[in-house]
Amino acid sequence: MVKEEKEIANRPDNTAFTQQRLPAWQPMLSAGIVIPGFVLIGLAFIGIGVALFVTSRSITVLEIDYTGIEKDSPCYKCSDSDAKNCVCNLVFSIDSLFEGPVFFYYGLSNYFQNYRKYAASRDDEQLSGDLDAFTAPSDSCSPYNYNSNDKPIVPCGAIANSMFNDTFVLYRVVNGAKQLVPLDGKGIAWWTDYNVKFRNPSVTPLKNAFNNTVKPIFWPKPAYQLDTSDPANNGFINQDFLVWMRRAALPDFRKLYRRITDGDYAKGLPAGNYSLTIAYNYPVVSFDGRKKVVFSNVSWMGGKNEFLGIAYLVVGSLCVLMSMVMLIVYAKFKFPEED
Amino acid sequence: MAVNENADRPKAVRLRGKDVNAESSLKWPELYRSGQRQELSSPLILISSLLYAVYSSLVFFFIPFGVFHNTAYDFQTMAVTVAMAATFTANVEISLVTRYWTRLNVAAVCVSVVMFFICSRITHSTSLFKASPGDYFFLGASNRAFIDPLVWLTALLTTWTAVLPSMTALAINVIFNMHDKHKVHSASSQPVELRSRLRRGASLRRSSYALSQGAGPGRLISSGTCIRSTVPTVDEQVTADNNPTDSQLQINMKNK
- Per residue in A146-175, pLDDT (tens digit) is 989 999 998 999 999 999 999 999 999 999
Q: Please check whether residues A47 and A164 belong to one and the same domain.
A: no
Residues of B within 8 A of A28 (CB-CB) are 179, 183
Give every residue of chain A whose pLDDT is below 70, as ranges: 1-7, 336-339
Q: Please check whether residues A313 and A214 belong to one and the same domain.
A: no
Query: Is B139 in Cβ contact with A192 (below 8 Å)?
Result: yes
- Identity (one letter) of the amino acid at B74? D
Q: Please check whether residues A120 and A242 belong to one and the same domain.
A: yes
Q: Please check whether residues A144 and A282 belong to one and the same domain.
A: yes
Which residues is A96 bridged to in the sheet?
Answer: none
Tell whether A227 is covered by a domain.
Answer: yes
Chain A residue at shortest CA distance from B59:
A311
Query: Is B74 in Cβ contact with A250 (below 8 Å)?
Result: no
* Alpha carbon distance A114, A120 (integer Å): 10
Tell whether A319 is covered by a domain.
Answer: yes
Burial B85-98 (b: 16+ CB within 10 A, else e): bbbbbbbbbbbebb
Query: Is B69 in Cβ contact with A192 (below 8 Å)?
Result: no
Length of chain B: 256
Tell whether A29 is covered by a domain.
Answer: no
Residue B29's pLDDT is 78
Residues of B within 8 A of A311 (CB-CB) are 63, 66-67, 157
Residue A19's pLDDT is 79
**Cβ–Cβ under 8 Å, residues A184 and A309:** no
Q: Where are the domains of chain B?
A: 22-184
Q: Please check whether residues A230 and A120 belong to one and the same domain.
A: yes
Residues of B within 8 A of A63 (CB-CB) are none
In angstroms, what CA-CA distances link A312 with A54, A305, B58, B60, B148? 12, 12, 17, 15, 17
Q: Please check whether residues A50 and A172 belong to one and the same domain.
A: no
Q: Please check whether residues A74 and A220 belong to one and the same domain.
A: yes
Chain B residue at shortest CA distance from A192:
B140
Query: Is B139 in Cβ contact with A24 (below 8 Å)?
Result: no
* Alpha carbon distance A138, A122 (integer Å): 8
Q: In sequence order, which ranges of B69-198 are alpha helices (DSSP H)?
A: 75-97, 103-123, 126-131, 141-145, 149-176
Collect all residues with Cβ–Cβ distance below 8 Å to B42 and sequence separation of at least 6: none
Residues of A within 8 A of B67 (CB-CB) are 305, 307-308, 311
Residue A193, classified by CB atoms within 10 Å of its CB into exposed (0-12), middle (13-18) or buried (19+), is buried
CB atoms within 10 A of CB B246: 14
Residues of A within 8 A of B92 (CB-CB) are none
SS3 A250: coil
Query: Is B153 in Cβ contact with A312 (below 8 Å)?
Result: yes
Residue B40's pLDDT is 74
Sequential pLDDT tens for chain B (256 residues): 444 444 444 444 444 456 777 887 888 877 777 777 777 778 888 999 999 999 999 999 999 999 999 999 999 999 999 999 999 999 999 999 888 888 999 999 999 999 999 999 999 999 999 888 888 989 999 999 999 999 999 999 999 999 999 999 999 888 887 644 444 444 444 555 555 555 555 555 667 777 677 666 666 666 766 565 555 555 555 554 455 444 444 444 445 4
Query: Is B179 in Cβ contact with A48 (below 8 Å)?
Result: no
What's the domain count of chain A?
Answer: 2
CB atoms within 10 A of CB A214: 16
Residue B148's pLDDT is 94
Shortest distance, CA B174 to any CA of chain A (angstroms): 6
Q: Please check whether residues A161 and A283 belong to one and the same domain.
A: yes
Query: Is A256 in Cβ contact with B133 (below 8 Å)?
Result: no
Shortest distance, CA A151 to any CA of chain B (angstroms): 22
* Alpha carbon distance A108, A253 (integer Å): 6
Tell whether A196 is covered by a domain.
Answer: yes
Tell whether A255 is covered by a domain.
Answer: no
Q: Find, among A112, A104, A124, A137, the residue nearest to A292 by Cα.
A: A104
* Alpha carbon distance A239, A258 (integer Å): 10
Shortest distance, CA B218 to any CA of chain A (angstroms): 18
Q: Which domain holds residue A81?
A: 68-96+112-248+272-287
* Alpha carbon distance A288, A111 (integer Å): 9
Residue A3's pLDDT is 64
Which residues is A62 bridged to in the sheet?
Answer: A295
Shortest distance, CA A249 to any CA of chain B (angstroms): 4
**Cβ–Cβ under 8 Å, residues A193 and A199:** no
SS3 B223: coil
**Cβ–Cβ under 8 Å, residues B224 and B188:** no
Q: Please check whether residues A216 and A81 belong to one and the same domain.
A: yes
- The residue of A118, A122, A124 whose CB has the most chain B CBs within 10 angstroms, and thus the best one to mutate to test that interface, is A124
Q: Please check whether residues A154 and A281 belong to one and the same domain.
A: yes
Q: Please check whether residues A168 and A193 belong to one and the same domain.
A: yes
Q: What mean pLDDT value characterizes chain B?
A: 77
Shortest distance, CA A123 to any CA of chain B (angstroms): 7
Tell whether A103 is covered by a domain.
Answer: no
Q: What is the pTM of this model?
A: 0.80
Shortest distance, CA A39 to any CA of chain B (angstroms): 12
* Alpha carbon distance A33, B50 (integer Å): 30
**Cβ–Cβ under 8 Å, residues A294 and A181:** no
Residue A127's pLDDT is 92
Q: Please check whether residues A324 and A232 belong to one and the same domain.
A: no
Task: Count contacts between A and B (CB, < 8 Å).
Answer: 149
- Identity (one letter) of the amino acid at A101? P
User: Given A196, A300, A308, which is nearest B154 (Cβ)?
Assistant: A308
